[in-house]
């Protein structure tokens, strides 16, 4: 079922400070992948056409525009959110009410697409990924924030193991908790996400962001002295040990392209790694 007016019942979509922090992380990841210096006088997205698919109230789209985009779009079916976005940011961003299964863009016309924690809310994420493949430029980049079905704590309702359950039991669980009438979100496992991205070439930035939060505007991920110790430990952890954790990582941060490309940014304590998408 399509989740219309999502910003009306998910207050997090209207948390401006949090949404702008997410945007800073997205832009930092894109800067590293594209090999663009975030401290340069030239903006990170200078000259690029960008689109935030699932923009809601428009905070991330506004940050993309502010990062130098030649043209910025925000697209959603959340009419109240789009109305708020257009009122505040309509001079910098073009907001469009449209379904992701029929993106209103010509083939190969978008340089940067952002699809941040949206797939679990839509009816047909595979169809949307097909559309994003169509509109992405041949040398374009797709940023993906992807929740994992096997993450223990469900991120929207803060209920443990909610996403593990079949739909009928998940509905009963959220009703018993008093947090919702139905559970509409449909998460996938890492294997399912790899299959969803089968037509793309993908790099995983999940551990690089966790190990280098300052570089990726994620300082709030590890607050205080305990956090700094955790960060240093993660930075030294062998990749083989980290790979063992991949199936249960709560959130994946992936960058996808239509043609094979490599990250162009400087070396990191935990470098991004390619993701195999040739799964049946």
Residue of 13 and 61 predicted with greater confidence? 61
Task: Judge whether residue 235 has pLDDT over 80.
Answer: no
| pLDDT at residue 4 in the model | 47
- Cα separation, 199 vs 145, in Å, equals 17
Span between the terminal Cα atoms of the chain, in Å: 26
Question: What confidence tens digit (pLDDT) does each residue in 46-97 have?
Answer: 999 999 999 999 999 999 999 999 999 999 999 989 999 999 999 999 999 9
pTM recorded for the entire structure:
0.91
**DSSP labels for 115-126?**
EES-GGGSS-HH
Query: Which H/E stretch holds residue 210?
Result: helix 206-211
**70 is written with which tokens?**
């030649």
Confirm if 67 and 27 have CB atoms less than 8 A apart: yes
What class has domain 38-275? alpha beta
The residue among 257, 144, 156, 155 whose CA lies nearest residue 193 is: 144
Rounded average pLDDT over 227-233: 63
The residue among 275, 96, 97, 81 whose CA lies nearest residue 196 is: 275
Task: Judge whether residue 11 has pLDDT over 60.
Answer: no
Task: Judge whether residue 218 has pLDDT over 80.
Answer: no
**253 is written with which tokens?**
């941060």
Rounded average pLDDT over 249-267: 96
Confirm if 44 and 112 have CB atoms less than 8 A apart: no
| pLDDT grade for 225, boundaries at 50, 70 and 90 | very low
Confirm if 112 and 141 have CB atoms less than 8 A apart: yes
Look up tokens 């930035």; give the residue.
205
Residues 6+ apart with CB under 8 A from 139: 111, 257, 259, 261
| pLDDT at residue 226 in the model | 45
Rounded average pLDDT over 1-16: 57
- Cα separation, 249 vs 279, in Å, equals 19
Domain boundaries, given as residue ranges, for the chain: 38-275
Rounded average pLDDT over 16-24: 91
| pLDDT at residue 276 in the model | 94
Question: What confidence tens digit (pLDDT) does each residue in 138-197 have?
Answer: 999 999 999 999 999 999 999 999 999 999 999 999 999 999 899 999 999 999 999 999
Mean model confidence pLDDT for the chain: 90
Task: Judge whether residue 239 has pLDDT over 50.
Answer: yes
* DSSP letter assigned to residue 129: H
Question: What confidence tens digit (pLDDT) does each residue in 92-130 have?
Answer: 999 999 999 999 999 999 999 999 999 999 999 999 999
Task: Judge whether residue 5 has pLDDT over 60.
Answer: no
């Amino acid at each position: 079922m399509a989740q219309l007016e999502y910003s009306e019942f998910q207050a997090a979509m209207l948390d401006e400070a949090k949404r702008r922090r997410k945007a800073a992380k997205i832009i930092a990841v894109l800067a590293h992948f594209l090999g663009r210096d975030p401290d340069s006088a030239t903006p990170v997205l200078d000259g690029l056409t960008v689109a935030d698919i699932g923009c809601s109230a428009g905070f991330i789209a506004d940050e993309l525009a502010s990062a130098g985009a030649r043209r910025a779009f925000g697209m959603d079916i959340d009419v109240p959110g789009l109305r708020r976005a257009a009122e505040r940011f309509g001079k910098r961003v073009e907001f469009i009410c449209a379904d992701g299964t029929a993106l209103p863009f010509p083939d190969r016309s978008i340089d940067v697409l952002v699809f941040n924690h949206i797939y679990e809310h839509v009816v047909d994420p595979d169809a949307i990924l097909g559309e994003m493949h169509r509109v992405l430029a041949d040398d374009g980049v797709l940023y993906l924030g992807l929740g994992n079905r096997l993450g223990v704590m469900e991120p929207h309702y803060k209920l443990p193991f909610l996403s593990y359950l079949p739909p009928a039991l998940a509905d009963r669980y959220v009703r018993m908790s008093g947090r919702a009438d139905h559970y509409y979100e449909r998460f996938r496992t890492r294997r399912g996400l790899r299959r969803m991205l089968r037509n793309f070439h993908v790099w995983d930035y999940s551990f690089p962001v966790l190990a280098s939060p300052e570089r990726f505007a994620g300082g709030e991920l590890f607050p205080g002295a305990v956090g700094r110790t955790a960060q240093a430990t993660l930075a030294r952890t062998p990749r083989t040990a980290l790979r063992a954790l991949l199936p249960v990582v709560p959130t994946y941060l992936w960058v996808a392209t239509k043609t094979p490309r490599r990250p162009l940014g400087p070396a990191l304590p935990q470098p991004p790694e390619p993701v195999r998408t040739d799964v049946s």
